[in-house]
Amino acid sequence: MKTELRFTPAASAPSELLAVFAADTSASKDKDAKPEVTLLTSDEAVRKTANFVLATGEFKAEANETLLLHAPEGLAATRLLIVGLGKGAKADPHAIRRAAGTAVRFAKPRNIRSLAILVPEGNFDPTQSTRAIAEGAILADFDSDTYRTDRKDRSIEAVSVLVPSGVDKSRAEAGHREGVIIAESQNFARTLINEPGNRMTPTILGQRAADMAAETGLKCEVHSTDKLRELKMGAFLSVAQGSDEPPALIILTYDPEGAPDGPVMGLVGKGITFDTGGISIKPADNMEKMKYDMAGGAAMIGAMRAIAQLKPAVKVIAVVCAAENMPSGKAVKPGDITFAMSGKSIEVVNTDAEGRMVLADGLHYARELGATRLIDAATLTGAVAIALGQINAGVFANDEDAYQHFTNALAISGEKFWRLPVEDEYRDQIRSSIADIQNTGLTRYGGATNAAMFLKEFVGDTPWLHLDIAGLAWQDAEKPWLAKGPTGVAVRSIIEWVRSYA
């Protein structure tokens, strides 16, 4: 999809479909109050055509509600689509992102290949709204049915973002450019996540990261078994040893000229390209989903792609630990002892708790490479989805300032994360009688925190955030603005978190 800004009046822009936003600006808090539908454009021709149907009251401007008009009078477009933003007259880029996505996904099955989206007028920041439209449109264009031989490519070829007169051109352009970079990077992560285990091995993930790095000017190193042995990454190696596929330690470096020596941002991702559970094997039901167990690693690779282009003045290192978790005669067994790179001994009580094992060495290594702020992303526990459902992902923090940066990042990204505890009172859960720690909690209670407590053993006093995205990395049902399948959750928040240190 190509998106471009246009500074032509809405009525005279020819297109297969013109999307215009409307909000419910009624001040009443009562849910059943009559909506006050406000069309967010001053274009007279659009208003005239739309007002006729809006007067019927059948369109309530609820979030992502749509109303289609064919052959709208006085417009160069052949269709006019009104999309609801929901309640509120003030600027909400998150509602705009979704509504723009809804317009694109409305168009896709109707064989429309190009559309125009009108930047809303009113109390809307032009940088934020052009960015939100570009993001929403590009994210909505993604579909996951890559391997259907009867696949009809319903991609939208072109989206024109129509900027009303009076809007600052350079601010609109800046927002649009950011939106394109960020959403294309999130889609890049989604493409990686969508691939099945046989087409996304650790080696292939390393190759995809290296190709991306070559395109964007990042430094990239991909290492395998020998180097892991040299680095004494016993925890990471213990996960990889059951598979015929060699592991990949992927290191991406962004070191811009003129950036201060510190902070150095360390991004660490879980890249399990398939998680069978190993000897503690998972039940067959839903096991096919475990191809997305590299979503945290993909999020880091996607974030680095955007960072390379947005060029914030801050150093960033990403470490992705990719392996396949398989049962075999060589696989790690419950009860086995391994030594992490940090020197800590670990009792492997459950081989299905493999994500924390690879991250233990990834986090330690990122610090050795010089990271002074850490963030990791992982589809780490089913327990986080039990606790938070599929609306919020989990965030854990050992540092209030780093967490504050993250909540600021969420305000920009629009993603939802809910904080869960990693306090020392929970440490008893990972005590082992034979080794320094064990890789599962003594009880099932607080499983997401137990996993976070395990990771905490490897970050020392470095400010650190842990994102458990197990509940949100994959979406089973389509939303009006987003396809089902890989979501690319966390990519946007990680990008903004990094930028907040520049």
Catalog residues that contact ligand BES under the rule CB under 6 A: 275, 293, 350, 352-355, 379-383, 440, 447, 470
Q: Least Å distance between CB 212 and ligand BES?
A: 24
Spatial CA neighbour of 189 closest among 42, 35, 320: 320
Q: Least Å distance between CB 288 and ligand BES?
A: 12
Is 79 one of the catalytic residues? Answer: no
CA pair distance 436, 363, nearest whole angstrom: 18
Q: Which does 470 bind (CB under 5 to 8 A by kind): Zn ion, ligand BES, none?
A: ligand BES
**Closer Cβ to Zn ion, 24 or 293, answer by number:** 293
The helix (H) or strand (E) run that includes residue 189 is helix 169-194
Q: Catalogue the long-range contacts made by 412-416 (C-beta closer than 8 Å, 24 or more residues apart).
A: 412/492, 412/496, 413/492, 413/493, 413/495, 413/496, 414/93, 414/94, 414/97, 414/492, 415/489, 415/490, 415/492, 415/493, 416/391, 416/392
Spatial CA neighbour of 122 closest among 93, 88, 161, 91: 91
Burial 281-303 (b: 16+ CB within 10 A, else e): eeeeeeeeebbbbbbbbbbbbbb
**In a 10 Å sphere around its CB, with 0-12 CB exposed, 13-18 middle and 19+ buried, how is residue 78 labelled?**
middle
Given a contact cutoff of 8 angstroms between Cβ atoms, the answer to whether 352 and 242 are in contact is no
**Closer Cβ to Zn ion, 104 or 378, answer by number:** 378
Give, as ranges, the residues between 105 and 134 that touch Zn ion (CB under 5 A): none
Give, as ranges, the residues between 354 and 383 that touch Zn ion (CB under 5 A): 354-355
Q: Which does 440 bind (CB under 5 to 8 A by kind): Zn ion, ligand BES, none?
A: ligand BES
Q: Which does 350 bind (CB under 5 to 8 A by kind): ligand BES, Zn ion, none?
A: ligand BES
3-state secondary structure of 265: strand
Is 356 one of the catalytic residues? Answer: yes
Q: Least Å distance between CB 382 and ligand BES?
A: 4
Q: Least Å distance between CB 349 and ligand BES?
A: 8
Select which of 48, 282, 344, 427 is catalytic: 282
Q: Least Å distance between CB 358 and ligand BES?
A: 10
The answer to whether residue 496 forms part of the interface with Zn ion (CB under 5 A) is: no
Q: Which does 383 bind (CB under 5 to 8 A by kind): Zn ion, ligand BES, none?
A: ligand BES
**Closer Cβ to ligand BES, 273 or 381, answer by number:** 381
Q: Which does 216 bind (CB under 5 to 8 A by kind): Zn ion, ligand BES, none?
A: none
CA pair distance 435, 442, nearest whole angstrom: 14
Q: Which does 143 bind (CB under 5 to 8 A by kind): ligand BES, Zn ion, none?
A: none
Spatial CA neighbour of 255 closest among 213, 288, 227: 213
Q: Which residue has the tokens 């892991």?
A: 228
**Closer Cβ to Zn ion, 5 or 437, answer by number:** 437
Select which of 60, 108, 190, 356 is catalytic: 356
Q: Where are the beta strands (DSSP E) in 98-191?
A: 114-118, 158-162
**Closer Cβ to ligand BES, 114 or 350, answer by number:** 350
Binding mask 274-303 for Zn ion (x = CB under 5 A): -x-----------------x----------
β-strands 18-24, 114-118 pairing: parallel
Catalytically active residues are 282, 356
Binding site for Zn ion (CB under 5 A): 272, 275, 293, 352, 354-355
